[in-house]
Structure 1
């Protein structure tokens, strides 16, 4: 006799921040794995293109405007998603951006903007879908964290503080939701190549990279791709009942220290010497 009823075949999902980067890749991956997906972001015109590609490829997707800093926008987005796809089974809170700047140089309003997006916005989205999940005694709340929440980086103090607070919120959710059937998970991306942050001017990126190197935080120049995180997030969503992924950290694999052809040449050189 199974301890839990299996997850339903149809599991509608919502993805916040789905117009680019990790959110876009996650929506595409979830749809490819059979999840009906509602994409939310402020750039609705970008969503239309992504939704069109997903549906043309045999997936099921809709897109609606979403600003996680606006309570009415969140309520409207969730209502539209449920009307279009059905009761929400999976939430992916991935909306956000990265603000570069030393804490002494940024204003309190700029600091607060990161808290509003990454912490309050994530809370707002979760509380919008939680009542239905609690009633059905199942559901997945998946939050996109950051390695910066685990190991702070200079020039990213506001972002790091918001993501660290997000970790605390998710840990509390995990304790408070125990026994309800609702699972709360957080996935921490390491350095990832997206437009978020890396489109900033060199006068902001350059000093940050120098300080990261000073603190041993720039070990190599390989980055994760958005698709790498999308697979990890989808894995969390697909985990069968009876267990859940509490925390996951994904880091980019370093480049090989020597290329295959170089290793072959070294071996040939060694053979000549012997």
Structure 2
């Protein structure tokens, strides 16, 4: 007798922050693995474009408006996704935001907004999805963390505290969910090319990068692609029942040295 019932062949999935970057790539990767996917973000028109791409490739996807900063939006999104796709098996919490600035120069409203999106928004999704998972004794929750947690960087204002809180929440959840059949995991990207930097103030960005160099955080120019992080998420949720990949950190490989 197996210790656990195996995963269903198709696992209804939710991806937040799915309009671009890591979220969009993750939705595509999960669909390619055969899972129906609900894509959510405030830019629903971008989610719709990604969902259409998935359907054109033979996958199953729906796109819906989602604001993780609003309780009602989260409840409506989860209810509609469940009604459309079935009980949610996989939640990938990828919605986030970053405004480059030094902490003491960050406006408190901006600080609170970033914490709300990166941390409180993730909790809203958890509170809407995980109780049902626990009741069914199965499910995967994957948080998109950041390597700024084990190695905080200057110039990232509220992002470092927010992601640190997110990872702490994930660790606590892993202990609280032990024995429920629900796995809470972290995928921790290193430097990744994404739309996160769109709209950044150029001078603030240059200041941040100079500070990184000063503290030794820029060793080479290579960066990860969003699809690299999506592959890591797919690996985590594809682990067989009885196996829990708790933290997966993904870093770009350095360019090859000559000679």
Please give the TM-score of this superposition, normalised by the length of structure 2.
Answer: 0.98
**For the Cα contact (< 8 Å) 1:97–1:197, is it kept in 2?**
no
**For the Cα contact (< 8 Å) 2:68–2:125, is it kept in 1?**
yes
2:93 paired with 1:93: yes
Q: Deviations over 1:121-172 (max 9, x none)?
A: 0011011011210111000010000001121110113100000011110010
Q: Deviations over 1:67-110 (max 9, x none)?
A: 00000000000011011100000000000111110011111111
Q: Take 2:125 and 2:147, find their aligned partners in 1: how far apart are those partners?
A: 22
Q: CA deviation at 1:201?
A: 3.4
Q: Take 1:17 and 1:195, find their aligned partners in 2: how far apart are those partners?
A: 11
**For the Cα contact (< 8 Å) 1:74–1:125, is it kept in 2?**
yes
Q: Which residue number corresponds to residue 253 of structure 1?
A: 253
Q: Which consecutive aligned stretches of 4+ in structure 1 deviate over 3 angstroms post-superposition?
A: none
Q: Please state whether the residue corresponding to 1:117 is helix, strand or coil.
A: helix
**For the Cα contact (< 8 Å) 2:99–2:200, is it kept in 1?**
no
Q: Which residue number corresponds to residue 171 of structure 1?
A: 171
Q: How does 1:124-163 map to 2 (within 5 A)?
A: 124-163=124-163
Q: Take 2:38 and 2:151, find their aligned partners in 1: how far apart are those partners?
A: 32
Q: Take 1:46 and 1:167, find their aligned partners in 2: how far apart are those partners?
A: 28
Q: Please state whether the residue corresponding to 2:62 is helix, strand or coil.
A: strand
Q: Take 2:199 and 2:217, find their aligned partners in 1: how far apart are those partners?
A: 20
Q: Take 2:239 and 2:250, find their aligned partners in 1: how far apart are those partners?
A: 17
Query: Radius of gyration: which is bigger?
Result: 1
Q: How does 1:1-274 map to 2 (within 5 A)?
A: 1-197=1-197, 199-258=199-258, 263=259
Unpaired runs of at least 5, structure 1? 264-274
Aligned CA RMSD, in angstroms, stands at: 0.9
Q: Take 2:98 and 2:189, find their aligned partners in 1: how far apart are those partners?
A: 13
Q: Which residue number corresponds to residue 268 of structure 1?
A: none
Please give the TM-score of this superposition, normalised by the length of structure 1.
Answer: 0.93
Q: Please state whether the residue corresponding to 2:102 is helix, strand or coil.
A: coil
**For the Cα contact (< 8 Å) 2:106–2:157, is it kept in 1?**
no
**For the Cα contact (< 8 Å) 1:26–1:231, is it kept in 2?**
yes
Q: Take 1:10 and 1:33, find their aligned partners in 2: how far apart are those partners?
A: 9
Q: Which residue number corresponds to residue 269 of structure 1?
A: none
Q: Take 1:150 and 1:22, find their aligned partners in 2: how far apart are those partners?
A: 20
The number of residue pairs the alignment matches comes to 259
Q: CA deviation at 1:55?
A: 0.5
